[in-house]
Amino acid sequence: MNPRLRHWREAATLLLAAGSGAPARPVRSPLGPFDYEMLLLQRSPRSGFLPSAHVFPGGLLEAADFSADWLGLLPALPRCGLGSVRPSPPGGNRAPVFATDRAGLGSPLPGDVAFRICAIRETFEEAGILLLVSGPGPDSDPGPARLLPQHHLPPGPELAEWRRRVQQDPACFLQLCRYLRCVPNIWALHEWGNWLTPVPRAGRGTRRYDTAFYLCCLEERPPHTSQDEQEVTGFQWSTPPEAIELFKSQEIWFAPPQFYELCRLCNFSSLCDLHRFGSDRDLEGCERWMPVTLAASDGYIQLLPGDELYPKDPDYTGEKKLFLSTDKKVEELMKEDSKLHRVVIQNLNNLTVHVNIQPKYKHINPLKMDSNIVGSNADCNSRL
């Protein structure tokens, strides 16, 4: 953990994909069939942050995720079997949430390890899915991850009791791993992105999170999933296009970061292709994205790094109390600007991603789409 942070808290979230085989229901998308589905959890309407929203599993980093006791289970330091991330390219700046020297903060574990443990622990707490391996190190198979066989797990009631204990005390997750003689499968999680909650506008809530996004692909069909009836009141497994169609029809709701990432996942209809992409770019790193909101006369635009209107010196902390606004309409702004990396918000269920800049760190832009025609990602333009 980083005790020096005052304006936000650190968190980790997991884009969990599971093979689905041939679709068993009509496809609600012009993209055709996908052979995998993503886990989406519905937050409680009583939640103080994104109530009733559908999100990827994840949550706050805890001191237990950095415990020195993990060193007794995981491979040796410096990176516990994880590869070393390459230096940032010219003009790049790796996200501080990943680049921070955790040893200088008194942590025995590297941030890359602790954030992965957090994402795995939270996935167990919220969805009942255990991403563990029985050996002390990574699986030699480079393909999508496998879950522990059922015979390796405790009976259902006993596992439910462990889940309750971990929810109450995150340190119990390490105890569970010891009991099962397993370790969190940190090597199946691939660094995907980093989103920092925007500075709130006047009168809005003040909860902010610096969230590490990871990707994990499971070889099996979606595993048994159950909500915790506390933070999470429902769940579903959906292909990325299906999830976006449900969003457009107002059956579910996402915040802009989840919408953006689902658009990006639409590039991959194959689980193997998605896993290969995530694995190949795992050591490239990523940059921090803090959306900056521009209020237009008929809607809002969330500006992202690289956009022509993105501030040169963003107000990360909110202490400057700078809020962007214009009397122009969204359409006027779209015509005037040439370098685009933004999410246009007309209303809660009407979002549009516009990108025409080259992605950094060998990442990929959201897929370009309109209501009838699927376009190519090659020109870097993205719209959904």
Average pLDDT over every residue of 183-203: 88
Angle at 230 between CA 162 and CA 58, to 5 degrees: 75
Is the separation of the CB atoms in 309 and 344 below 8 Å? no
Which among 222, 161, 154 has a CA at the least distance from the CA of 16?
222
Which among 164, 169, 58 has a CA at the least distance from the CA of 115?
58
Could you give phi then psi for residue 207, rounded to 5 degrees?
-70, 130
| Segment 283-292, tens digit of pLDDT | 999 999 999 9
Q: Quick one: DSSP state of residue 188?
A: G
The confidence band for 32, taking pLDDT boundaries of 50, 70 and 90, is: confident
| Segment 69-119, tens digit of pLDDT | 999 999 988 889 999 898 887 767 889 998 888 888 888 899 999 999 999
Q: Is the pLDDT of residue 374 over 80?
A: no
Contacts of 220 (CB under 8 A, 6+ apart): 18, 19, 146, 147
Residue type present at position 72: G
| Segment 204-260, tens digit of pLDDT | 556 899 999 999 999 988 988 988 878 888 999 999 999 999 999 999 999 999 999
Average pLDDT over every residue of 356-378: 67
pLDDT > 70 in the chain, percent: 90
pLDDT of residue 201: 62
pLDDT of residue 29: 63
pLDDT of residue 123: 97
Q: Of all helices (H) and strands (E), which one includes residue 350?
A: strand 350-355
Q: Quick one: DSSP state of residue 110?
A: -
Q: Which residues of 145-168 are buried (b: 16+ CB within 10 A; e: fewer)?
A: bebeeeeebeeeeebeebbeebbe
Q: Which residues are registered as beta bridge partners of 325?
A: 295
pLDDT of residue 204: 53
> What's the CATH fold of domain 9-281?
Nucleoside Triphosphate Pyrophosphohydrolase (3.90.79)
> Who wins on pLDDT, 139 or 301?
301
Is the pTM higher than 0.95? The answer reads no
Residue 224 CA to residue 235 CA, distance in Å, equals 11
pLDDT of residue 347: 87
pLDDT of residue 35: 93
List the chain domain ranges. Answer: 9-281, 292-355
Q: Which residues of 66-87 are buried (b: 16+ CB within 10 A; e: fewer)?
A: bbeebeeebbeeebbebeebee
